[in-house]
Amino acid sequence: MLNERHAADRALLQALADLPQEHVPDLLALADEVRAANCGNGVAVEVLYNAKKGGCSEDCNFCSQSARFATDVEPEPLSSVEGFIDAARDAYERGAAEFCIVVAVRGPSAKLLDRVCMAVPLIKQHYPLTVAVSLGILREDQLSKLKAAGVDKVNHNLETSRRYFPSVCTTHSYDERWQTCQLVKKFDFELCCGGIIGMGETLEDRIDFLTSLQELQPDEVPVNFLNPRPGTPFGERSLVEPTEALRFVAMARLALPGALIRFAGGREVTLQGLQDLGMRSGASGLVLGNYLTTAGRQDQDDFAMLERLGFEVLA
Ligand code: SF4
């Protein structure tokens, strides 16, 4: 059975997925206890920087940055080095401890990688930020350059279960994603690996997704909820029910007791007035709005919430 340090196995995750609605508040409270026992009271706050927007060759059905879908995202070229540094300063001044550089690509070109590797040491010289990158599928030689540049953490999401992934994306495979995640660990970066709930996956898929994450043991798991983007193949999907979203966050905490479980995109539209409860359901971090292509709520609302709940914002 459960205790605060031991991860829930598949059978227990199945039982939690099947738990009647009236018992979900008990599950959320338990996940909050497990979070406190493993992560203390600190909350890690992150800002994302979209350094190359839109025009992506891939066909992830949730994503408005794919060049294959008619969306309202206007592609923008890769940022200058100065642009990276200005964005890092903004993240620092907004109170973030972590800054994540994100680009809409299958994997980085030599030019893109060089620019990131030029910017990261300058960012770290000026601001005491944990610097993460999300650059798509990566090879060993590319990871080696990122290591030399001082990157702390690499994000690469599995997004969903292996079974459901081909219904989300056909231009690259789950194995390619899996391999990048393994290389990230091999090169001794912190691994940030999560996904999106509400893309049409079953409860079984959610459990498979969590057990895959248990195999990878990422340091951080960003949990996104689908915010259906007009023009994408998933643009007409419904939002996840708030209690199901919170149930998943709690299951993620019990599956990966020591990980940084971070609320990411879609939390405002999905949880709406339940933001406070969200932070009491096992999460230990959040991304400040704006996200890559959608706005979030105001920073002061998030910081006021964290203070009200007695959390300490990690520096
Ligand atoms: S999720 Fe990433 S890889 Fe997929 S289409 Fe969007 S930007 Fe491209």
* The pLDDT of residue 2: 55
> Does residue 283 line the site of ligand 1, with CB under 6 A?
no
Q: What residue's CA is closest to ligand 1, atom 7?
A: 104
User: Per-residue pLDDT averaged across 40-47, rounded?
Assistant: 96
> Does residue 58 line the site of ligand 1, with CB under 6 A?
yes
* The pLDDT of residue 4: 61
At a CB cut-off of 8 Å and minimum separation 6, what does 241 contact? none
The burial of 166, by beta-carbon neighbours within 10 Å (0-12 exposed, 13-18 middle, 19 or more buried), is given as: exposed
* Cα(37) to centroid(ligand 1), Å: 35
Q: Which atom of ligand 1 is nearest to the CA of 172?
A: 3
When pLDDT is cut at 50, 70 and 90, the band that residue 25 belongs to is very high
> Does residue 314 line the site of ligand 1, with CB under 6 A?
no
Q: Which atom of ligand 1 is nearest to the CA of 66?
A: 5
* The pLDDT of residue 293: 72
Q: What residue's CA is closest to ligand 1, atom 4?
A: 60
> Does residue 119 line the site of ligand 1, with CB under 6 A?
no
pLDDT in tens, 93-144: 999 999 999 999 999 999 999 999 999 999 999 999 999 999 999 999 999 9
Share the mean pLDDT of the chain: 96
pLDDT in tens, 144-156: 999 999 999 999 9
* The pLDDT of residue 6: 86
Residue among 52, 60, 177 whose CB has most ligand 1 atoms within 8 A, to mutate: 60
Give percent of the chain above pLDDT 90.
Answer: 94
> Does residue 56 line the site of ligand 1, with CB under 6 A?
yes
Checking if the pLDDT of 242 tops 70, the result is yes
* The pLDDT of residue 188: 98
DSSP state of 272: G
Please tell me the pTM assigned to this model.
0.96
Q: Which atom of ligand 1 is nearest to the CA of 159?
A: 1
